[in-house]
């Protein structure tokens, strides 16, 4: 894998495509966890492909290629979320014309709803730890934070999740 990264860094486009396709599903999964819809996740994957191809020469250690891609993915996904916050919402009096599905929503607290209670930093640490099986050292490298900070954020996030489940009375 390291040789493939070096080939790609030296301008071998086929090597880069092979590398990117190897991790494309991981990138999509991570993007989807942040943006929560297929189209935006695909946009993030495309942006990651562009950014990673453009800046491949800046990657110092080829063995961290996947970690580097995941960091770019998180950054791109957060950018999409920031752009979505700028959307103007419609007035509530128009809801009767659109319809509301609130009566059909289950009352139980889903995992996605739990993750949404966390701030972006906590969410990133939890997703990297549980969805990608990263070690604390790898998390600290991806997020550019000290190892102790990564652990603190992780345990703080777990405590928040425990409190949320206790409030929903699903904690045992």
What fold characterizes domain 108-172? Arc Repressor Mutant, subunit A (1.10.10)
Q: How confident is the model at residue 108 (pLDDT cuts 50, 70, 90)?
A: very low
Confidence check: pLDDT of 129 > 70: yes
Residue found by looking up tokens 């894998």 in the block: 1
pLDDT tens per residue, range 34-81: 888 899 999 999 999 999 999 888 888 888 898 899 999 998 998 888
Sequence ranges of the chain with CATH classification 1.10.1740.10: 1-87
| 21-25, 45-49, 141-145: the lowest-pLDDT one | 141-145
Rounded to 5 degrees, what are φ and ψ at 162? -65, -45
Cα torsion 29, 35, 41, 46 to 10°: value is -110
1-87 — its CATH code? 1.10.1740.10
């Amino acid at each position: 894998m390291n040789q493939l990264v070096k080939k790609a860094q030296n301008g071998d486009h086929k090597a880069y495509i092979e590398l990117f396709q190897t991790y494309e599903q991981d990138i999509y999964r991570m993007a989807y966890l942040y943006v929560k819809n297929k189209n935006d996740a695909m946009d993030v994957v495309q942006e990651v492909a562009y950014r990673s191809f453009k800046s491949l020469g800046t990657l110092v250690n080829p063995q961290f290629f996947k970690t580097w891609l995941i960091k770019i993915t998180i950054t791109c996904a957060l950018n999409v979320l920031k752009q979505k916050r700028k959307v103007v919402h419609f007035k509530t009096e128009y809801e009767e014309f659109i319809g509301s599905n609130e009566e059909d929503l289950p009352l139980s607290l889903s995992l996605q709803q739990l993750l949404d209670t966390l701030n972006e930093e906590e969410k990133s640490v939890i997703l990297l730890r549980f969805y990608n099986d990263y070690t604390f050292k790898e998390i600290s490298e991806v997020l550019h934070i000290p190892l102790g900070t990564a652990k603190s954020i992780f345990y703080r996030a777990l405590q928040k999740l425990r409190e949320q489940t206790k409030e929903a009375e699903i904690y045992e």
